[in-house]
Amino acid sequence: MTEQDVLLVGGGAREHAMAKALVDGGARVYSVMSNENPGVAELADDYAIGQEKHVAGIVDKARQWGCTHALSGPEGPIAAGVTDALADAGVTVVSPSQQAGRIETDKAWMRDLMERHGIPGRVRNRHFANQQGLREYVEELGEVAVKPVGLTGGKGVKVTGDHLAGTEEALEYANDVFTSGLGGGQVVIEEKLEGEEFTVQCFTDGDTVVPTPPIQDHKRAFEGDEGPNTGGMGAYSGSEGLPFLSRVDYEAAVDIVRDIVHALRDEDRPYVGPIYGQFMLTADGPRVVEVNARFGDPEAMNTLGILETPFTDVVDAMAEGTLDELEVTFEPTATVCKYVVPEGYGSDPTPDTTVEIDREAIAETGAELFYASCEPTEGGVVTTTSRTLALVGIADTIEDANEQAEQALSHVKGEAIDARHDIGTEKLVQRRVEHMRELGRPRNPESV
């Protein structure tokens, strides 16, 4: 590993996990975050509380601290041009440029990129800036997903049958996006996909793409996959992949991510850093739901928790274009991540609740604790309107990892907080398996 003084932008649980992985690998970490994340603050050599999209201020801090490398946890700084400005200032940036980041910040452009390069996994879709032709297209597709084109913090997508009762509600929501300016005030209308979602995160230097084990995130706020969409309530991974996902389908998804990276390279938008493909496993195989220009949150915690290769070595290889020379390995174990969130998260969250955390007792369970959007207080934290903290169980099986995460959750106390206890349970996992069997695409005997 080269000596690394890493500027890490962002103050969530994902960034806490990234900071831990960097420090464990021998790096010194410096942070710019919008809230004082207790975990990041504890690990960092220095940190500043400030706007994560304030380009000049972040560049000044990087110079002040003598940072050699930089990573952005969230997508906002990438969209704002922070990574470009840091690169211009001579910092080795291991996150994509603003132009490469369009795969996340502009859903219409991402769909067009896939179309231009004939990348598999495409869905029927059309981009609308106003109502002209909108009704006709929605009626043509029948059931649809309505997606604001730009960033909405993972909460802008609404789907017929899940959040929208039918055509009229889909049209009404699209009109709300036009008038409110949400995500840029434009929408992509896509065919509704039936199946099971899964995530494939990869490391890339712009040429070589190294996949990580597949993960299933849970966006819905309430148990049983009910309620509004959120930024993610938790995720799990198995020691041999996901129980509903065959090796063939996993590798097809990895190939799609690789094709996207190479398409960006071929269009002179080289992509360096972690990249995240969200897929729907349908009866016809994996289809692309979205592509994100970063680690997922919560998925980063699942992935980094079982990464055997020092993360600092991976960062070096991505930065230097030598990822093909590095053997990246993962522990053959399962993970279950569960978020603690303020009551009402996803719709009308209740902030300013004190949460007591018994860190010693959590450590004894073997689970990992990662702080998210919270403020430190004596013996715990105070909630904001976003996710509060995450607990990650790591064990031989999903069942055991879930039990570990649940034991850790029992040591987090507070009023007006919620968690999804069903994530990682045998009942919910088996429901995924049965769903794919009903769709005629059961997992083959071989593992991922």
pLDDT higher than 70, residue 445: no
Whether residue 288 is found in the same domain as residue 373: yes
For residue 15, is it left (φ>0), alpha (ψ between -120 and 50) or beta?
alpha
Do residues 146 and 84 share a domain? no
Asked if residues 279 and 253 have their Cβ atoms less than 8 Å apart, the reply is yes
What average pLDDT does the segment 28-53 reach? 97
336 and 244 belong to one structural domain = yes
Asked if residue 292 and residue 246 are part of one domain, the reply reads yes
**Residue 153 clears pLDDT 90, i.e. is over it:** no
Whether the predicted pLDDT of 448 surpasses 80: no
What residues form DSSP beta bridges with 202? 211, 275
pTM recorded for the entire structure: 0.96
- Do residues 279 and 122 make contact, with C-beta atoms less than 8 angstroms apart? no
**319/356 same-domain check:** yes
Identify whether the C-beta of residue 331 lies closer than 8 Å to the C-beta of residue 404.
no
The model's confidence at residue 447, banded by pLDDT at 50, 70 and 90, is very low
CA distance 175 to 171: 6
User: What does the pLDDT look like over 401-442, one tens digit per residue?
Assistant: 999 999 999 999 999 999 999 999 999 999 999 999 999 998
The domain boundary residue, chosen from 191, 220, 249: 191
Binned at pLDDT 50, 70 and 90, residue 67 comes out as very high
Cα–Cα distance for residue pair 77/82, rounded to 1 Å: 5
Residues 218, 264 within the same domain:
yes
Q: Is residue 65 part of a domain?
A: yes
Gap between the Cα atoms of 112 and 297, Å rounded: 26
Inform me whether the pLDDT recorded for 1 exceeds 90.
Answer: no
pLDDT digits over 323-373, tens only?
999 999 999 999 999 999 999 999 999 999 999 999 999 999 999 999 999
pLDDT over threshold 80, residue 162 = yes
Bridge partner list, 354: 382
The band of 444, judged by pLDDT with boundaries at 50, 70 and 90, is low
239 with 363, same domain: the answer is yes
Residue 109 lies in a domain: no
Residue 20 to residue 260: CA distance in whole angstroms: 29
How high does pLDDT run on average in the chain? 96
Q: Residue 440: how many CB atoms within 10 A of its CB? A: 9
Residues 180 and 277 placed together within one structural domain of the fold: no
What's residue 2's pLDDT? Answer: 76
Residue 202, domain CATH? 3.30.470.20
Residue closest to 319 by CA, chosen among 210, 206, 209: 206
**Domain span holding position 253:** 196-434
426 and 328 co-located in one domain = yes
Residue 256 lies in a domain: yes
